[in-house]
Amino acid sequence: MYKYTRKVIKNNQGTYYLSLPKEIVSSLRIKDGQKLNLFQKGKNIIIEDWK
Q: pTM (2 decimals)? A: 0.72
Give the pLDDT of residue 34.
96
pLDDT band for position 51 (cuts 50, 70, 90):
confident
CB burial readout 2-26, b (16+ within 10 A) else e: eeeeeeeeeeeeeeeeeeeeeeeee
17-35 pLDDT, tens per residue? Answer: 999 999 999 999 999 999 9
Q: Does the pLDDT of residue 1 top 90, yes or no?
A: no
Alpha-carbon distances, residue 26 vs 11, 16, 43, 46 (angstroms): 26, 23, 26, 18
Measured on CA atoms in the order 7, 28, 42, 39, is the torsion positive or negative?
positive
Spatial distance between the Cα atoms of 38 and 45, rounded to a whole number of angstroms = 7
